[in-house]
Structure 1
Amino acid sequence: MIVPDTIWQPDEKQNGRSKYETLARTIRARIASGDLSEGYKLPPVRDLAYQIGVTPGTVARAYRVLIEEGHLTAGVGRGTFVAAQKPVPVRSLPTTTSFFDPVLERDGQAHLLSPKMPDVGQGAIMREVLHDLADAVAPDMLLRYPTRDTDLPARQAFAARLDAEQIGAFTLDDIVTSHGGQSAILMILQSVLQGPAPVIAVDELSYGGFRSAAVLCRAEVVGIPWDDAGPVVSALEAAIRDYDIQVFCTSAEVSNPTAIQTTAARRVEIAAVAKRYNVHVIDDDCYRLMNTKRVGPSYRALLPDLGWYLTSPSKSITAALRIGFAVAPEGWTAALMRTATFSSFGVTRIVTDLYAGMMQHGQIDAVINHTKSRINADVSAAARILDGHKLRYADSVPFMWLELPRGWRAGEFCQAAESSGVLIKSAEDFSLRDGRAVHAIRIAVNGLIPHDSFVEAIERLTVLLENPTERLAL
C-alpha cells in the first residue's frame, strides 16, 4: 500500500524519546486530528519501516503500544486498523469511599471549602504522559538534580500560553518554576524584602497564603480596602507612606474571596503609585482559568521593573500537579533563581516534564474548556437559587462571595451551615486579625462532587439565609 510519507514522519523533535515512542505519538496525533479515521488500514510493519527509515522492530513496538492503548486494533492475517476512539470520559468521584477524603461529599456533608477541579480527563492524560516519560527519559537523568535545562520544556509550554500584551514582554529566562503558586509567592518575597522588620500590603480581604508567606519572612502585614473598581488608591498610598511598605500583594484578575476584578483604569492608578514609591507589586493570577479573556494588563506589564506575575495549574487542571510559575520583572530573574536554588534546588524533572507533556497533549484544551463549563454550570445554578441575595461571581471562577442578610454573623452562619451538612468559609478566613468585621461567606465550587449534590447544598444554604438566628431564636 502506498501512503503519503508526511502522515508518518514525526512533526516534532524526539526530545530524548525513543524512536518507537516518537512514531507512536505521531500516529496518535494523526488519529486525534482526524487524518487517520476509524477503520483506516495502516501499512504493514516492514513497508512503513522502509518508508520512514527505521527498523521493523521500531514500527512493531509503536503499533503494539497503540493497540494496548486502544487507538489501534489488529487481527491475524488482516492487518492493523484505526480503532473506534473513545471520548474523554466525564467522571465524578463517588460520594462515598472506603477512605476519608475531605474534598468529597461524605455522610451527607458537601465540602465547599476550597475549589476543586472536576475530573474531566486530567487523570487519564496524566497517566498517559507519565507512561510516555517512563519510556522517554534516560535513566541517568532521573538521578540528577533539576537545572534550568531540565525545566526548560515546562517553561516553554507555559510561555506558549502567555499573552505578552497582558503580562508584558518576557523571555524564557524571566520564568522561574516553583512548587506551586504559594511557593512562588514565598520565593518572591524572600527575593525582594529587605531589613529586619519589612512590611507588605495585601488586599483587605485576600488569599491567606499572602499572610502565611509574610509570617515566614517575618514581615508585618497591612490591609488595603477595595471598592468595586479594585484597591483604593488613596489607601494604598497612605499605607506606603505610613508603614514604608516594600511589596503589595494582590490579584488583579480575580480577588479571592470577593471575585471582584480590578478595572484596567484602576490598575494604571495603582501602578503609578507603586512606581512613585518604588514598591514591588505581586500579581497572583492563579484563579483565572486558561483561555479566559483578561480584563486588562497585569501589573507586570504596567511596571516592567517592579511587577511580578505568578500562576499555577492548580485551579485550571489539577491541584495534584505541584508546579507554579513566576515571571520576574526586569533585572530580578537572577535574585529569584538564587532563592529557588537555595530553598529547594528547583522542581524535579518528573514534575516539570509531566507539566510540559500535559500542556502539549492534544486533549488538554478540551479538558480546560470542559472544566470551565462545569464550573459555570455550578455557579449559574447557585446564582439562580440565590437570586435576591447579594451574591458576587465571575465567569469561570470557581467560587462565589455571598454577603449575609441582617440577623446572620459569618461565624454563626458557617456553624449553622455545617450542622446542615455544608462546609463553607467565613469572611474571617480572609481577613487580617485587626481587620473590620465582614459578615459574608465564600462558597467554593467542588467539582469532585456531583452537580446535583452541589445544587442540593446551595438549597440548604438558602433555607438558612431565609431563617436567620434572630428569627430562629423566637
Structure 2
Amino acid sequence: MAIWLPDLTGKRGPKYLQIVEALADDIKSGRLSYGAKLPPHRELAYQLDVSPNTTSRAYSEAVERALIRGEVGRGTFVRGPSTIRETGDDGGLTRKRTGPIDLSRNLPLPGLAGSKLAQACAVLGQSQTLSALADYQTESDSGRVADACIEWLRRHGVRSESDRIVISSGAQHGVFAALTALTRPGDLLLTEALTYAPVKAMAARLSLKIAPVAIDEDGVRPDELDRICSERSVKALYITPTLQTPTGRTMKAERRRALSSIARRHDILLIEDDVFGLLHRDRHEPVAMLAPERTIYITSASKCLAPGLRVGLVCAPTRMVNPIRNAVNLTCWMPPPLMTEIFAQWIQDGTSEQLTEMQIKTAHKRQQIAQHILGGYIPEVTHGLHFWLTLPDGWSADQFTLEASDGGVKVTNGTAFAVAAQSAPNAIRICLSHEADESRLKAGLEKLRAILDEGPGNAQLIL
C-alpha cells in the first residue's frame, strides 16, 4: 500500500494544522478507512519536506481530536467505530488494558474503591432516609456530612468550623467557584510559573489577567512575589504547596511562612489547592493555618479515595463563605447528595483511611519503579502520583512528547502548565497511577528510557 500523503492544497494556518485538516478530510471522504495505518511521523516529514516536529505535532493534535490512535510496537492507526471492539476496552476515561500507555492523566488508582462503593450502596439501600438523597438539599440538611467535612480537613491539618466550609463538586469546581465569587474582570491573578492547567482556562473565562511568579526548588520565590505585588495591583495568588502540579515538589515550612507574610503585607488573597496533601506523610502546616484571614483552602476526596467521588471542600474566611456558596449554587446548584453521603459514610466507618493508605503505598511503590527504570534522569521522589522530568540538553519538550507518542506512550508536555508559553521549560510531567496494570507502567517507563538513551540526534533520523 502506498504511503499516505496529505493534500495541503488550499489549506491555511500553521503547517501542522494543515496536515490535521487534510487527515480529517481524507477520513471523512473514505480515502483513509478506519484502521488504516499511517506512516511514522519522521517518514511523513521527509515526504512533505517539513521538520519532524511539525508532523509529530500534527499527529499529537490528531490524537487529541480522536482521529488517530497509537499502539505500542505497531504504529499509528485511523480511529473509528471499530476501535472499541478491536481493543476490547470501553471508551472515555476507562483504564484501558491495550493500546497507548497513558502516563499523562493524573488520576489515582481505583483500587479497592469499587468494592467499598458496593458496600456503601448496600448500606444506603437499607437507610430510612434514602429518599432524601434524591431531593434538593442545603448544606444544613445533614449534620453528619458537616462533621465528615470537619474531620477531612482536620486530617489535612486545617482546623475549621462547619460555617466556614462550602461543599463543591470536586476541587476544580471549588477553585472556579472561589475565583467567580472573589474576583472581577480585569483583576490580576498570580500563579506559580508552572501551574495547574485548568486555572489558566478559568482566568480566561472570567476575564482575569494572569501572570506567573518565578519558582525554584521550594516553590514560589518570595522576592519575586514581593516585587510583583509592589509594582502591580494583585488580587490573589493561586498555589499548590504540597506535591505541586506539575513538578511534584513540596514547599517547605519556612517558604510557606514567607509567602503568608508577603500576602498579608500586600493584602492579597491566597488560594491554596491541597488535593494531594494527604499523599505526603510528612506534610507541612497548610498556608491556611498561617494566614487564615486571607486563605481560601481547597481539597477533595478524588485524589485519595476515588477519582469518581466528586466531593470538594472549600474552607474560607467567614466573610467569603456566602459569595463562594452562591457561586457553587450558580454553577451546579448543589453537589450531588448521594456523593456527599458516601463521602460522609466513608469518613465515619474508616473506609477513607484504608483507601488513602492504599494510595500512599501505591504512590511510593510506583515512584520506586520509576527510579529504578529512569535512574539519574529524574529527581528522587518518594511521595505522590506524578513527577517532573527535565529533559537533557538537545531535546525539546514538543519533540520528546511526540517521540513518546509515536512509541505508544502518552506524557504531558511541560508547555501545558506554563503561564508564559515563551518561557516553558523543556520538561514533561509523568503520571504513575492511571495505568492500573503495573506491567504496562513498566513498559511505558522503559520506552521513555530508551528514547532518552537514544538521544535527540538519533530520534530525528529519517528511517
Query: TM-score per shorter chain, which class?
Result: 0.7 to 0.9
How many pairs were matched up? 376
CA contact (8 A) 1:225 1:232 kept: yes
Q: State the Cα deviation string for residues 19-71 of structure 1 (Å, max 9, x = none).
A: xxxxxxxxxxxxxxxxxxxxxxxxxxxxxxxxxxxxxxxxxxxxxxxxxxxxx
After TM superposition, the structure 1 = structure 2 runs for residues 339-354 of structure 1, keeping only pairs within 5 Å, are 339-354=327-342
| CA shift for structure 1 position 240 | 2.1
> 2:265 aligns to what?
276
Q: Which residue of 2 aligns with 1:457?
A: 444
Match of 2:170 in 1: 180
What is the aligned partner in structure 2 of residue 325 from structure 1? 313
Deviations 1:189-238 (A, max 9, x none): 122113x4111001100111221221222101100111112211121122
When residues 472 and 412 of structure 1 are mapped into structure 2, their CA distance, relative to the original with a 3 A threshold, is closer
Deviation, 1:253, is 1.3
SS, match of residue 376 in structure 2: coil
How does 1:248-267 map onto structure 2 within 5 Å? 248-267=237-256
User: Which has the larger displacement, 142-151 or 372-381?
Assistant: 142-151
The reply on whether 1:233 has 2:222 as its aligned counterpart is: yes
The RMSD of aligned alpha carbons is 2.2
Give secondary structure in 1 for the equivalent of 2:126.
helix
Aligned partner of 2:207 among 218, 243, 265:
218
Distance 1:439 1:151, change over 3 A: farther
Structure (1 or 2) with the larger CA radius of gyration: 1
Instruction: Report the Cα distance in structure 1 between the residues aligned to 2:122 and 2:205, rounded to whole angstroms.
Output: 38
Corresponding residue SS for 1:466: helix
Correspondence for 1:470: 457
- 8 Å Cα contact 1:398-1:444 kept in structure 2: yes
* TM-score, normalised by the number of residues in structure 1: 0.75
Equivalent-residue separation in structure 2 for 1:470 and 1:114 (angstroms): 29
Q: 1:393 to 1:425 in 2, by over 3 A?
A: farther
CA distance in 2, matches of 1:414, 1:241: 38
- Residue 413 of structure 1 deviates from its aligned partner by 0.4
| Matches of 1:105 and 1:337, distance apart in 2 | 37
Secondary structure at the aligned position of 1:286 is classed as coil
The one of 286, 290, 299 aligned to 1:298? 286
Indicate conservation of the 8 Å contact 2:187/2:208, yes or no. Answer: yes
CA contact (8 A) 2:397 2:427 kept: yes
Partner residue, 1:437: 424
Q: Supply the distance in 2 between the matched residues of 1:120 and 1:164 (Cα, whole angstroms).
A: 21
Please report how far the alpha carbon of residue 246 of structure 1 lies from its aligned counterpart in structure 2 after TM superposition: 0.3
Structure 2 residue 237 is the aligned partner of structure 1 residue 243 = no
> Deviation at 1:418?
0.8
The answer on whether the counterparts of 1:200 and 1:248 sit within 8 Å (CA) in structure 2 is yes
What is residue 63 of structure 2 aligned with on the other side? none
CA distance in structure 2 between the partners assigned to 1:139 and 1:369 by the alignment: 29
Q: What is the aligned partner in structure 2 of residue 111 from structure 1?
A: 102
Matched to 1:332, the amino acid is M
Normalised to the residue count of structure 2, the TM-score between the two structures is 0.76
Cα gap change, 1:319/1:438 in structure 2, threshold over 3 Å: closer, same or farther?
same
1:137-216 counterparts in 2 under 5 A?
Answer: 137-138=128-129, 140-163=131-154, 166-167=157-158, 169-194=159-184, 196-216=185-205
CA contact (8 A) 1:400 1:442 kept: yes
Distance in 1 (alpha carbons) for counterparts of 2:380 and 2:99: 26
CA contact (8 A) 2:156 2:277 kept: no
Aligned to 2:18: none
Map Cα deviations across residues 335-361 of structure 1 (whole Å, 9 max, x no partner).
Answer: 222222333322121111111112223
| Bigger fraction of residues in helix | 2
> In the TM superposition, what is the alpha-carbon distance from 1:424 to its structure 2 partner?
0.4
Q: Which residue of 2 aligns with 1:422?
A: 409
- Where 2:296 maps in the other structure, the secondary structure is strand
Shift in Å, 1:105: 4.2
Q: Determine the C-alpha separation between the residues in 2 that align with 1:102 and 1:231.
A: 33
**Residue 420 of structure 1: how far off its partner (Å):** 0.9
- The answer to whether residue 344 in structure 2 is matched with residue 380 in structure 1 is no
Q: How has the CA–CA distance of structure 1 residues 106 and 420 changed in structure 2, closer, same or farther, with 3 Å as cutoff?
A: farther
Between the aligned partners of 1:361 and 1:394, the Cα distance in structure 2 is 32
The structure with higher relative contact order (CA 8 Å, sep 6+) is 2
SS in 1 for 2:176: helix
**Aligned match of 2:274:** 285
Q: 1:457 to 1:150 in 2, by over 3 A?
A: same
| Post-superposition offset of 1:128 | 1.6
SS of 2:263's equivalent in the other structure is helix
Q: Equivalent residue for 2:391?
A: 404
Distance 1:322 1:256 in 2: 19
**1:170 aligned partner, one-letter code:** S
CA distance in 1, matches of 2:273, 2:450: 35
Q: Output the CA distance in 1 between the equivalents of 2:310 and 2:395.
A: 38
Structure 2 distance, partners of 1:242, 1:155, is 42
CA–CA distance in structure 2, aligned partners of residues 204 and 454 of structure 1 = 29
Is the alpha carbon distance of 1:392 and 1:159 closer, same or farther for their aligned partners in structure 2, counting shifts above 3 Å?
Answer: farther
- Assess if the C-alpha contact under 8 Å between 1:197 and 1:218 holds in 2: yes
Give the residue type in structure 2 aligned to 1:114: R
Runs of 5+ in structure 1 lacking a partner?
Answer: 1-94
**1:451 Cα offset (Å):** 1.1
In structure 1, what is the equivalent of residue 356 of structure 2? 368
Q: What is the CA–CA distance in structure 2 between the aligned matches of 1:114 and 1:462, rounded to whole Å?
A: 19
Q: CA deviation at 1:433?
A: 4.3
Which residue of 1 is the match for residue 11 of structure 2? Answer: none
